[in-house]
Copies of this chain bind each other. A is one copy, B any other.
Amino acid sequence: MLLCDIGNTSYHFLDGERDFKESVTSFNPATITQKVYFISVNQNIQKKLQNLENWIDLSVYVCKEKYYETMGIDRIMAVEAVDNGIIIDAGSAITVDVVKKGKFEGGFIYPGIKAMEKTYKNISPALDYSFNFELNLDKIPKNSQDAISYGYLKTLQCEVLSHDLPIILTGGDAKRLIKIFPKAEIKMDLIFTSMKELVKSSAV
């Protein structure tokens, strides 16, 4: 079964055990002739794919009543896979969703690592640093690199930990964020697992 989770920057494929990414700007989906089950938060690409019969949009099969209208389908699929916890999907955006006893409570969106580094750099060349993920967040910093790292990481950590729920990390930057959420569980295949489940249960 070929699955594809399309984000703002890439097509993320899972072909059996093998996963790989293609850029949304350069990849031509018509080059794939086998059946692809996909979800997409990228509206332009979602529209294009309507003309390709072998690309099956799984969002059609999701019961969306529990969610809100403009909620990204990737977030919905992640939430569907979790019964109790706070899900952090770290990609070009970081989405944070809270599920309690199978019920979606709500969620928020924080900028991804790359986007936020660029933000600081654009504010001032004096803030052009990579984030320091080794930073001790229990101590308020006294240098510029740590001052922006703390501004980005401690604020997110503070909010997430306040929910006191099991933390599930997924997305391309999950392995970097584990540094500030050491008790979190990394589930790289969370969305794909949920997509497979949907294909089976909906008899697509």
Contacts and interface: CB of A to CB of B under 8 A. Distances in A.
A116 B115 CA distance: 10
Contacts of A201: none
Interface string A82-108: 000000000011001010000001111
Interface residues of A, number: 51
Contacts of A148: 108-109
B108 A8 contact: no
Contact of A151 (B109, B120, B123, B158): B109
Contact of A158 (B120, B143, B159): B159
Contacts of A72: 126
Contact of A147 (B108, B123, B151, B152): B108
Contact of A142 (B96, B106, B122, B152): B106
Interface string A62-85: 000001111110000000000000
A122 to B, nearest CB: 7
A111 B109 CA distance: 15
Contacts of A146: 108
A29 interface: no
B150 A154 contact: no
A94 B124 CA distance: 12
B123 A93 contact: yes
A127 interface: yes
B147 A158 contact: no
Nearest to A137: B159
Interface of A: 8, 41-43, 67-72, 92-93, 96, 98, 105-112, 115-116, 118-120, 122-127, 139-144, 146-148, 150-152, 154-156, 158-159, 162
